Amino acid sequence: MDKKEKSLLIKEFAIKEGFSFCGISKSGFLKEEAPRLESWLQSGKAGKMDYMSNHFDKRLDTTLLVPNSKSVISLLYNYYPTQKQVTETFKISKYAYGQDYHFVIKEKLNALLFRIREQFGDVDGRVFVDSAPVMDKAWAKKGGLGWIGKNSNLIHPKKGSFFFIAELILDIELEEDGPIKDFCGTCTRCIDTCPTDAIVEPYVVDGSKCISYLTIELKDELIPSEFSGKMNDWVFGCDVCQDVCPWNRFSTPHTEPLFQPHDDLLYLSKKDWNELSDEYFQQLFKKSAVKRTKKSGLIRNITFAQKDKK
Q: Could you list the active site residues?
A: 130
b/e code 57-86 from CB counts within 10 Å (16+ = b): eebbbbbbbbeebbbbbbbbbbbbbeeebe
Identify whether the C-beta of residue 296 lies closer than 8 Å to the C-beta of residue 144.
no
Q: Are strands 163-170 and 234-236 parallel, antiparallel or unpaired?
A: unpaired
Neighbours of 249 (CB within 10 A): 7
d(CA 237, CA 92): 6
Q: Are 24 and 7 in contact (CB under 8 A)?
A: yes
